Amino acid sequence: MTKSELVMKLSKREKMTADAAKAVVDTIFDAMMEGLEKKERIEIRGFGSFVVRHYAAYKGRHPKTGKIVDVAPKKRPYFKVGKELKEMVNGE
């Protein structure tokens, strides 16, 4: 499902204009991105949680040349699926 499909589904389900639905979806996503930027944990019960994980620097290998390279430390958003969603997807 794309963002625009989510907007249309919200618009039809809640009987609101597409512009209003887009504003709602954008507000939710913006708030989530701001929270992750501030390194806050986001938990949506029954769906899952988002957290920023820190990865240390390490020595890697360039796949083409085989040369050893330094890989800088980084932060990545991580999603952990919730129990209810996992069970629903697995048909339990």
Residues 49 and 85 in one domain: yes
Backbone CA torsion sign across 67, 70, 74, 79: positive
State the pLDDT at residue 76. 95
Q: Are 14 and 27 members of one domain? A: yes
Task: Let me know whether 20 and 47 are in one domain.
Answer: no
Q: Are 32 and 51 members of one domain? A: no
Where in the sequence is the domain holding 65, given as residue range(s)? 41-92
Side chain identity, residue 66: G
Residue by residue, pLDDT tens for the chain (92 residues) are 999 999 999 999 999 999 999 999 999 999 999 999 999 999 999 999 999 999 999 999 999 999 999 999 999 999 999 999 999 999 87
* Cα 32 to Cα 25, 27, 64, 73, distances in angstroms: 11, 9, 37, 23
Whether residues 90 and 46 fall in one domain: yes
